Amino acid sequence: MAGRRQDGAPGTARLALMVGALGVVFGDIGTSPIYTMQTVFNPADPHPVPISTENVFGVVSLVFWSVMIIVTVTYVLLAMRADNDGEGGIMALITLLRRLGGQRGRRATAVLAALGIFGAALFFGDSMITPAISVLSAVEGLKVVQPPLEDLIVPITAVIIVVLFMVQRRGTAAVGRIFGPVMIGWFLAIGACGVAGIATHPEILQALSPTYALNFLIHHFGTAFFALAAIVLAVTGAEALYADMGHFGRPAITRAWLFLVFPACVLSYLGQGALILDDPANSSSPFFLLVPGWGRLAMVLLATAATVIASQAVITGAYSVASQAAQLGYLPRLRIAYTSESRMGQIYVPWINWLLMVSVLTLVFAFRSSAALAFAFGMAVTGTITITTLLFFVVARWKWNTPLWLIGIGATVLLTVDLLFLAANLTKLIHGAWLPLLIGLTAFTVMTTWQRGREIVTAERERREGPLRQFVDRLRGGEPPVTTVPGTAVFLNRGKATAPLALRANVEFNHVRHEQVVIMSIDTEPVPRVPAADRIVVDDLGYSDDGIAHVSARFGYMETPDVPAALRALDPAMAEGHLRLDQASYFLSKIELLRGPAPTMAPWRKRLFIATSYITADAAEYFGLPRDSTVIIGSQIDV
């Protein structure tokens, strides 16, 4: 009995991870069947696909093989092997490239990192469009159930979205436990409805053969090419499988995809194809028309719940991307709240939350239907997928020394598919595809401008601060003369090469120093988390008995720095009798940015950099400093 329980425990844990992954990872891709087929055959499309038996078979086959190649092969089998200490996503690829690029050339690494940042910027566009199109598409089921309610679709969608963003600050830890079971019910329901549809025209199963997709592409290339701009909606959310790998692990996501999500989605697409073959008029809403009349209202409610879960997943993803970008220096420090004690990935970023809410509501009221939004949706998805595929093959070569011939074959096949989708979506540029590109370019400009401005400010700050060793040596030599006061002072600094501006001001203007001085720097490592044993490094700066030391605290890009907690982790034997942390004072150097005449950046980029600095989180709160023991000393720097 004992042996059986021990053997069963890992299986129970694996099952729990799969259920959790179903509730968080697959919401976006799992709700794609609601709107993909109706968008392909939408008569209002600028390049409509005529409904015929040959075209329906070709479209269904293209949907199946697109999901197979992009999701199963590119992401599940390949990209998810390129993890950064267990974390996935395009930001993980960027950090891998930065780590591996030292031996490959700075320029190549910089170009690839910039490409990755643009992919991350496109993800912000995806984060704005996904909640709008997902919730709209679900609520639109009302016009199938009760056509007179059509005018209420947009207001109901807006209310759901407002509530969704309002509850973000409470976190998803409490409701997360029900997400998995809801999504299991969702996939079983859409799979069952698909089977019922297939029963009306079993010959639709022939569309699983790649010959139908190839014949459609070869003999009707014009129609098939434009259809790809809508077919790509079937793979939306593929990036979430990769980005959320750190929360659930590759095995759980792979099993959930192969054994439930993929089969259920394929059955739904096949059933919808069969329904359209039965009556072309069903193309107006094939997903909901698959459901028997008595169950449609229940399906609308279940679809709404599933799309809210899909939106939750992509919103959380936006928080994670913003947090990682800030840690890597592409965005200012943002106020971040952890909403779960058990899962580090459960974070809430207020500034990003309200920006997303306003953006999503704007999209809902501007486009007013999921079909109109679909033209915009594919651009962000294809851009991110193409960049992820390219960066993966570079990592495969640099990290694993994969043979060039194998890289060439794999990259040629997969990038050809990705670029076909990208080119097809470019044809929708004037019909809405410009929107995610505009959002992506805006986010990319903000992130690269912040990175460049930060480099300029850091260089000027280091010049003013001067060498730390030289300053400490002068202080030890009595120059300038200072009065030593009791207590411990902790000065936050960017490293140990230079002296903190606050310390220099305290000595040169106030002519005092504390009995114990800790100069502390926070180093963000290109790994998700740093083990506690490797967190702290102490340097006594050449003297062990004068009360001045430098402490480096290392954090991963997924962690929020906590200075008092890090100091408490110091060796007790070293800290005893010296550092009275309960009575410590913390000193911060605050920089006020001014637009200067130096040609460091274009004037508009200077204004953008200074404007972006206003969203920087309060440093004391960000570093976990007690407000009643924190002193801020200001300084001005021209950009």
pLDDT tens digit sequence for 20-77: 778 778 888 999 999 899 989 988 777 888 999 999 999 999 999 999 999 999 999 9
Confidence of residue 558 (pLDDT cuts 50, 70, 90): low
Confidence of residue 89 (pLDDT cuts 50, 70, 90): confident
Q: Environment class of residue 415 by beta-carbon count within 10 Å: exposed (0-12), middle (13-18) or buried (19+)?
A: middle
Q: Could you count the other beta carbons within 10 Å of the beta carbon of residue 405?
A: 8
Higher pLDDT, 508 or 194: 194
What's residue 72's pLDDT? 96
Domains detected in the chain: 16-432 (1.20.1740.10), 466-638 (no CATH)
Collapsed DSSP state (helix, strand, coil) of residue 584: coil
Contact call for residues 303 and 35 (beta carbons, < 8 A)? no
Confidence of residue 345 (pLDDT cuts 50, 70, 90): low
What's residue 577's pLDDT? 46
Summarised one tens digit per residue, pLDDT across range 293-339 is 889 999 999 998 888 888 877 787 788 788 878 878 888 888 777 66
Q: What amino acid occupies position 116? A: G
Q: Give the whole-number percent of the chain exceeding pLDDT 90.
A: 32
What's residue 429's pLDDT? 84
* 535, pLDDT greater than 80: yes
Q: Could you count the other beta carbons within 10 Å of the beta carbon of residue 267?
A: 21
CA separation for the pair 632, 491 (Å, rounded): 10
Contact call for residues 528 and 86 (beta carbons, < 8 A)? yes
What's residue 7's pLDDT? 38
DSSP conformational letter for 293: G
CA separation for the pair 127, 347 (Å, rounded): 15
Summarised one tens digit per residue, pLDDT across range 239-298 is 888 877 876 788 889 999 999 999 999 999 999 999 999 989 898 889 999 999 889 999
What's residue 5's pLDDT? 34
According to DSSP H, which parts of 88-105 are helical?
Answer: 90-100
Helix (H), strand (E) at residue 579: none
Contact call for residues 360 and 128 (beta carbons, < 8 A)? yes
Q: Reduce the secondary structure of 229-273 to three states and give it as a string.
A: HHHHHHHCCHHHHHHCHHHHCHHHHHHHHHHHHHHHHHHHHHHHH
Tokens of 276: 């359209």
Collapsed DSSP state (helix, strand, coil) of residue 155: helix
What's residue 572's pLDDT? 57
What's residue 605's pLDDT? 92
Contact call for residues 570 and 538 (beta carbons, < 8 A)? yes
Summarised one tens digit per residue, pLDDT across range 483-532 is 888 888 898 887 778 888 888 888 888 888 888 888 888 887 767 778 88
Helix axes 434-465, 501-508, angle to 10 degrees: 30
Q: Could you count the other beta carbons within 10 Å of the beta carbon of residue 109?
A: 20
Tokens of 630: 């924190």
CA separation for the pair 624, 75 (Å, rounded): 37
Contact call for residues 266 and 64 (beta carbons, < 8 A)? yes
Helix (H), strand (E) at residue 82: none
Helix (H), strand (E) at residue 305: helix 296-327
| Alpha-carbon dihedral angle through residues 594, 600, 603, 607, given to the nearest 10 degrees | -40
Collapsed DSSP state (helix, strand, coil) of residue 498: strand
Summarised one tens digit per residue, pLDDT across range 598-636 is 888 889 999 999 999 888 877 787 788 888 888 887 777
Mean residue pLDDT across the chain: 84
Buried b (16+ CB within 10 A) or exposed e, 579-618: beeeebbbbbbebebeeeeeebbeeebbebbeebbeebbe
Q: Environment class of residue 10 by beta-carbon count within 10 Å: exposed (0-12), middle (13-18) or buried (19+)?
A: exposed
| Predicted TM-score of the model (pTM) | 0.78
Collapsed DSSP state (helix, strand, coil) of residue 503: helix
Q: What amino acid occupies position 349? A: V
Query: 């999209």: which residue's tokens?
Result: 363
